[in-house]
Amino acid sequence: MNTRIALAAGAAIGTMGNASGGVFDLGGYDGRSPPLGYVNPARTLGSSANQAICPLDYFVPALADSRRASLGGWRGHRTVAPLCGTPMQDVGNTAQGRWYFNAAENEDPHLALVHDNVDATLGAFS
């Protein structure tokens, strides 16, 4: 479901977290950005995944920098640029990238051979 809501710069859009911590999985898409270079672009036609962006690039600089410092996972913080990671990791004529089990659009039944979200020098199955 696409939701497009006009917001003023600096407008609060929500809150997250609590005293015991937790994680927040934030993603973003910008229909104005050029399509990403997936090996099989037909799999992403009409999908917002084709125009994934780092949402922190749209934050005011001080807030974006403070949030970039906390990117990573339970194993530590990401220190390799780009700090938000790389949303499209397909590499033609290699095993790297998205592997599709069937025609399902939901990503649950599929597999990806990509770089780790914390240590980008490591490969990972997702």
Indicate the domain borders of the chain: 28-125
pLDDT tens, the chain, 126 aa long: 567 788 888 888 777 666 555 666 778 888 888 889 989 888 876 677 788 899 999 888 988 888 888 787 667 788 888 888 888 999 999 999 988 887 666 667 788 999 988 888 889 988
Residue 19 near residue 71, CB atoms below 8 Å: no
- Cis before residue 82, ω within 30 degrees of 0? yes
C-alpha span between 94 and 81 (Å, rounded)? 23
pLDDT of residue 72: 72
- Strands (DSSP E) contained in the chain are 28-29, 52-53, 72-73, 76-77, 97-99, 111-115, 123-125
CA angle, 95 then 124 then 115, to 5°: 80
pLDDT of residue 114: 93
pLDDT of residue 113: 94
State pTM to two decimals: 0.69
pLDDT of residue 78: 82
